């Protein structure tokens, strides 16, 4: 971990992206005293209910998961799930420019451009634009993998997720990730779905084994200013 990291902004499209992608690392960093803010662009699961009937507001699940992970601040914006492509990129950029200006993070985590989910790509682009050198205090940017979104991207011809940074995890931080995942209730699938608890644990073991450790989360390191 970069020794100067004290403030981390996590920029995502949907509540649960942060937990699936970096929940263990977030729990670990929070334990180390890093102040973490989570900014989520969408508050509902509207893409699952095209008619608008039965749409669930995820805000309370997001806040519950954040508490489990030790995230201090949460902002949930009210853009519609999977309808972000109807919003101009400039508007999304402005959301994260404001988040970066006000929170002043030295580190940013976001989703990968390899994800099939269009919202994930929009957020990833906006978070990088908001964190550009000379216009922000951000010294490090990492992209994480979100099971199913990242897997499907690779299977659909998008550039593969190519991790070059591994964060070993203690068992308790993996457990915190799984507990936070449970806060999302119906978003958690059953095995052998990759978004099941067993699927999440299996990925942590696989990423760990790549660097000869028990559990890990993997990232694409986009930028690191020493
Ligand atoms: Zn997502």
What is residue 80's DSSP assignment? P
36 Cα to the center of ligand 1, angstroms = 19
For residue range 152-181, list pLDDT tens digits in order: 777 778 889 999 999 999 999 999 999 999
Reduced to 3 states (helix: H, G, I; strand: E, B; else coil), residue 74 is: strand
For residue range 108-127, list pLDDT tens digits in order: 999 999 998 889 999 999 99
14 Cα to the center of ligand 1, angstroms = 5
Give the pLDDT confidence score for residue 163 in this predicted structure. 97
Give the pLDDT confidence score for residue 127 in this predicted structure. 97
Mean pLDDT for 71-81 is 90
Q: Is the separation of the CB atoms in 119 and 77 below 8 Å?
A: no
- Residues, beta carbon < 5 Å, ion ligand 1: 14, 17
Q: Extract the tokens encoding 71.
A: 């995230």
User: In which band, very low, low, confident or very high, does the pLDDT at 3 lie, cut at 50, 70 and 90?
Assistant: low
Contacting residues for 128 by C-beta, under 8 A, at least 6 apart: 110, 141, 222
49 Cα to the center of ligand 1, angstroms = 16
For residue range 21-31, list pLDDT tens digits in order: 999 999 999 99
Is the backbone peptide bond immediately before 192 cis, with ω within 30 degrees of 0? Answer: yes
17 Cα to the center of ligand 1, angstroms = 5
User: In which band, very low, low, confident or very high, does the pLDDT at 54 lie, cut at 50, 70 and 90?
Assistant: low
pTM, whole model, 2 decimals? 0.93
222 Cα to the center of ligand 1, angstroms = 20
116 Cα to the center of ligand 1, angstroms = 10
Helices (H) and strands (E) in the chain, counts: 7, 7
152 Cα to the center of ligand 1, angstroms = 12
Q: How many residues does the chain have?
A: 226
Mean pLDDT for 64-68 is 98
User: In which band, very low, low, confident or very high, does the pLDDT at 49 lie, cut at 50, 70 and 90?
Assistant: very low
Q: What is the DSSP string of 85-149?
A: GGS-HHHHHHHHHHHHHHH--SEEEEE-TT-S-HHHHHHHHHHHHHT-BTTB---EEEEE--TTH
Mean pLDDT for 142-149 is 92
pLDDT at 50 over 90: no
Mean pLDDT for 193-203 is 93
Q: Extract the tokens encoding 135.
A: 């216009």
Give the CATH class of 7-166+219-224.
alpha beta
Using a 10 angstrom Cβ sphere, with 0-12 exposed, 13-18 middle and 19 or more buried, the burial of residue 33 is: exposed
Long-range CB contacts (within 8 A, 24+) of 149-157: 149/17, 149/111, 149/115, 149/116, 149/117, 149/120, 150/112, 150/114, 150/115, 150/116, 151/194, 152/115, 152/116, 152/117, 153/112, 153/114, 153/115, 153/116, 153/117, 154/114, 155/116, 156/116
Mean pLDDT for 90-119 is 95
Residue spans of the domains in the chain: they are 7-166+219-224
């Amino acid at each position: 971990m970069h020794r100067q990291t004290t403030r981390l902004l996590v920029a995502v499209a949907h509540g649960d992206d942060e937990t699936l992608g970096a929940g263990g690392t977030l729990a670990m960093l929070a334990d180390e005293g890093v102040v973490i803010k989570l900014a989520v662009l969408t508050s509902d699961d509207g893409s699952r209910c095209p008619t608008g009937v039965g749409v669930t507001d995820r805000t309370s699940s997001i806040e519950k998961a954040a508490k489990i992970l030790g995230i201090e601040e949460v902002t949930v914006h009210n853009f519609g799930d999977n309808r972000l492509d109807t919003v101009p990129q400039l508007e999304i950029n402005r959301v994260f420019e404001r988040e970066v200006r006000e929170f002043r993070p030295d580190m940013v985590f976001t989703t990968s451009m390899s994800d099939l989910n269009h919202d994930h790509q929009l957020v990833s682009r906006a978070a990088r634009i908001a964190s550009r050198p000379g216009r922000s205090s951000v010294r490090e940017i990492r992209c994480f993998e979100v099971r199913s979104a990242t897997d499907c991207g690779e299977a659909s011809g998008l550039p593969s997720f190519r991790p070059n940074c591994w964060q070993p995890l203690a068992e308790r931080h993996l457990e915190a990730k799984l507990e936070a995942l449970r806060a999302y209730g119906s978003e958690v699938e059953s095995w052998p779905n990759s978004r099941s608890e067993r699927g999440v644990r299996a990925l942590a073991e696989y990423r760990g084994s790549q660097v000869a450790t028990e559990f890990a989360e993997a990232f694409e390191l986009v930028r690191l200013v020493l």
